């Protein structure tokens, strides 16, 4: 068994997100393509002694005492009988309340770390029970690989081959709202007679693999959230103006993303957008294989440096594409 390890937790975007009317047990059913992207949080996880619990510290965001990490730890212990504790140091690059799945991905990454540190394996059913207790998006990060068609309230995950030819520019406008508030807005539209639009469920995989310019994906949250948060509408407009072939809200927001068919186009767009939006970056698909196999980076003695990350929001003083890297791109050959 290892004493500690470092784990990567990727963000996701929703390529289309149809919310269906009629909440069952307080949850709405959805139909969506989930795509993991190369924007990561990192978790440094250290094994502790018996009965020491889960101690979480975080840079880049303020986490409440009870969070997805503590929830995932308790659920893992319930499944396995683990009684030893862990210390988790999180470096947040995925913004909170953004619809990019950071909290859910962090929870899944901790499960993988606990399996590795203590030589325990949950298996698919055990992982599904953990996800059931922690949060709907956790199912995808534990079971979905790099890309999946996701239905139900998130618990039905069908992995599909991920594309390797897409480049994403996520933009976080800063304004945000809770998932509950966003679903409340959608429920208001349903009460006013709105019917969900977008491709039918059997069409999602083929459409995803087709030409991006032909994508007919629709996110049910986009219209009501954009109406409530003008910054979201502005960011979407800016992505289209910067040349995105497709742009939409991710999840219930408030992050938006644009899809580009070349890295050069994506970098040019990120350069242009950084003049208005501080938190934007360039990311690629996490393309293949189960996320557990891709999650483990290294042991702490060989901790990756910031420049190892392909995408990083960062802050004004960082070298991520949210800060120094975008500026350096703009000062170089990209105009």
Asked if 288 and 162 count as a contact pair (C-beta separation under 8 A), the reply is yes
**pLDDT at residue number 333:** 32
Judge whether 238 counts as a catalytic residue. Answer: no
Residue 201 within any structural domain of the chain? yes
Residue 164 within any structural domain of the chain? yes
262 lies in which domain range?
A: 4-330
Question: Strand locations in the chain, DSSP E?
Answer: 4-19, 30-50, 54-59, 84-91, 147-152, 156-159, 167-171, 246-249, 256-260, 283-284, 296-298
Residue 99 within any structural domain of the chain? yes
**pLDDT at residue number 318:** 32
Residue 167 within any structural domain of the chain? yes
Token pair recorded at residue 191:
């009460």
Count of structural domains within the chain: 1
Judge whether 137 counts as a catalytic residue. Answer: yes
Burial of 197 (0-12, 13-18, 19+ CB in 10 A): exposed
Residue 183 within any structural domain of the chain? yes
Residue 307 within any structural domain of the chain? yes
**pLDDT at residue number 64:** 94
Token pair recorded at residue 254:
């408030």
Asked if 4 and 47 count as a contact pair (C-beta separation under 8 A), the reply is yes
**pLDDT at residue number 165:** 95
Contacts of 275 (CB under 8 A, 6+ apart): none
Which residue's structure tokens are 């470096």?
91
- Helix-strand-coil split of the chain, %, nearest 5: 35, 25, 40
Residue 205 within any structural domain of the chain? yes
Which residue's structure tokens are 């800063």?
174
Q: What is the pLDDT along the chain (335 residues), one digit of tens a residue?
A: 679 999 999 999 999 999 999 876 778 999 999 999 999 999 999 999 999 999 999 999 999 999 999 999 999 999 999 999 999 999 999 999 899 999 999 999 999 999 999 999 999 999 999 999 999 999 999 998 899 999 999 999 999 999 999 999 999 998 888 889 999 999 999 999 998 899 999 999 999 999 999 999 999 999 999 999 999 999 999 999 999 999 999 999 999 999 999 999 999 999 999 999 989 999 999 865 446 655 654 444 433 333 333 343 333 333 233 333 333 334 333 32
Partner residues linked to 36 by β-bridges? 12
Residue 335 within any structural domain of the chain? no
CA 322 to chain centre: 17
Tell me 175's DSSP state. Answer: -
The predicted model scores a pTM of 0.88
Q: Report the distance separating Cα 254 and Cα 145, nearest Å.
A: 24
Catalytic residue among 106, 137, 238, 248: 137
Q: Report the distance separating Cα 106 and Cα 117, nearest Å.
A: 16
**pLDDT at residue number 195:** 86
CATH number at residue 138: 3.30.230.10
């Amino acid at each position: 068994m290892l004493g500690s390890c470092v784990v990567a937790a990727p963000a996701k975007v929703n390529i289309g997100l149809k919310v269906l009317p009629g909440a069952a047990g307080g949850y709405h059913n959805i139909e969506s393509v989930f795509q993991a992207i190369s924007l990561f949080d990192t978790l440094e996880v250290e094994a502790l002694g018996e009965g020491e619990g889960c101690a979480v510290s975080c840079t880049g965001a303020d986490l409440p005492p009870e969070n997805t990490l503590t929830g995932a730890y308790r659920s893992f212990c319930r499944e396995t009988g683990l009684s030893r504790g862990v210390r988790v140091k999180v470096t947040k690059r995925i913004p909170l309340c953004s619809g990019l799945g950071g909290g859910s991905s962090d929870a899944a990454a901790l499960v993988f770390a606990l399996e590795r540190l203590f030589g325990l394996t949950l298996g698919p059913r055990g992982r599904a029970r953990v996800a059931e207790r922690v949060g709907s998006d956790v199912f995808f990060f534990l079971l979905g690989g790099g890309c999946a068609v996701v239905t139900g309230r998130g618990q039905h995950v069908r992995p599909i081959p991920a594309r390797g030819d897409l480049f994403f520019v996520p933009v976080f406008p800063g304004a945000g709202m809770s998932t509950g508030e966003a679903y409340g807005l959608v429920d208001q539209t349903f009460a006013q007679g709105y019917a969900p639009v977008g491709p039918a469920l059997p069409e999602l995989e083929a459409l995803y693999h087709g030409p991006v310019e032909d994508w007919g994906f629709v996110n049910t949250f986009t219209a009501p959230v954009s109406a409530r948060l003008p910054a979201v509408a502005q960011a979407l407009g800016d992505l289209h103006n910067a040349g995105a072939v497709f742009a939409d809200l991710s999840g219930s927001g408030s992050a938006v993303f644009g899809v580009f068919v070349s890295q050069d186009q994506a970098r040019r767009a990120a350069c242009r957008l950084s003049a208005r939006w501080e938190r934007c970056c360039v990311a690629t698909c996490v393309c293949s294989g189960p996320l557990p196999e891709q999650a483990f980076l290294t042991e702490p003695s060989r901790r990756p440096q910031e420049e190892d990350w392909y995408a990083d929001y960062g802050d004004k003083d960082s070298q991520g594409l949210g800060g120094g890297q975008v500026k350096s791109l703009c000062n170089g050959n990209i105009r």
